[in-house]
Amino acid sequence: MLRLHVNDPLADDAMRILEESGVFEITSKHLEGQQLLDEVAEVEFLVVRSATKVTEKVLAAGKKLKVVGRAGAGLDNIDVQTARAKNIAVYNTPGANSTSVAELAIGLLLALMRHIPRGTAGIKDGKWEKKQLKGNEISGKILGIIGYGSVGRQVAKMAGAFDMKVLVYDPFATVEEADQVSSLDDLLEVSDVVSVHVPLSPDTRNLLDSSAIGKMKKGAVLINTARGGIVNEEALYDSLISAKIGGAGMDVFEVEPPTDELRRRLVGLDNVVCTPHIGASTAEAQKRVGLEMASILVDVAKSMV
């Protein structure tokens, strides 16, 4: 039998599939540091979510390691280049949580435009700030989507239900359902809302820096449910306090949790709505992610035995 270690929890149904497959000897416990290195030295399969960093050091310790499974979309927590060099296959589940992430992007937008968090907090604090909380509709607004993968497509679909006009910038995708622009600048200059849906890579790090944000329409808002590091948060802070842009909705940060001085100032602004990286944290998404990953792992394992 093949040894499988599940370092971050999977849904019960997914674990059941793995256990009943008959091809794995399974351990399941979150380990860090030397404990993780000791465990990975003895296994052929390793499964993680976002909490575990599969670094070069972890991969070097995995003398028997054949497969790393990432139950989720992003691979920025896995040293994919080193894994490939060591002939370790890396699998993920890029579409399984797209609906949940897209719904949160729309939710952050609505919360930002209609001042929902401040209204809730005010009422709980005994305030009635009706006159101060005049908002804006999203109907009829131009939504610029950066990245047209599975999440971007879901956001576009949902935005259509709100009668938003959708523009897309993605040089690697063919777009039929919305208007596609040829440059990022073209999208930034006309969009009332900019929503980010690209992976974090050397090419996308600081994609939205001070120069790019400076090209956005005055009063436009920015939504990021992709990855921290794509938006330069110092530039974002400056643009918010200068009223260059009207607000930001953020589920991800370059530093998580955002407890350093810059990000505490950023999240403390009235025109920032934020959540603690919960885009994929729904019961439905985690079940789909787990089931898809379990199916992949079982198929791969059966091809080996």
| Helices 98-113 & 283-304 angle (0-180, nearest 10) | 160
Provide the token pair at 223: 């939504």
The answer for residues whose C-beta is within 8 angstroms of residue 205's C-beta and 6 or more apart is: 229, 230
Looking at residue 69, the DSSP 8-state letter turns out to be: E
Pairing of β 142-146 and β 193-196: parallel
Positive or negative, the CA dihedral 173, 176, 182, 186 is negative
3-state helix, strand, coil in the chain (%, to 5): 40, 15, 45
Integer Cα distance of 292 and 242 in angstroms: 45
C-alpha angle 34/36/40, rounded to 5°?
120
- Active-site residue flag, 277: yes
- Active-site residue flag, 227: yes
Positive or negative, the CA dihedral 212, 214, 215, 221 is positive
Q: Which residue in the list 20, 32, 56, 256 is annotated as catalytic?
A: 256
Looking at residue 217, the DSSP 8-state letter turns out to be: P
Q: Which residue in the list 115, 277, 288, 292 is annotated as catalytic?
A: 277
**Smallest Cα–Cα separation from 93: which of 297, 303, 300, 301?**
297
Q: Which residue in the list 227, 254, 263, 288 is annotated as catalytic?
A: 227
**Cα-based distances in Å from 20 to 10, 24, 71, 295:** 15, 9, 19, 12
- At 264, phi and psi to the nearest 5? -65, -40
Integer Cα distance of 237 and 120 in angstroms: 24
- Active-site residue flag, 256: yes
**Smallest Cα–Cα separation from 101: which of 157, 162, 18, 45?**
157
Which positions are annotated as active-site residues?
A: 227, 256, 277
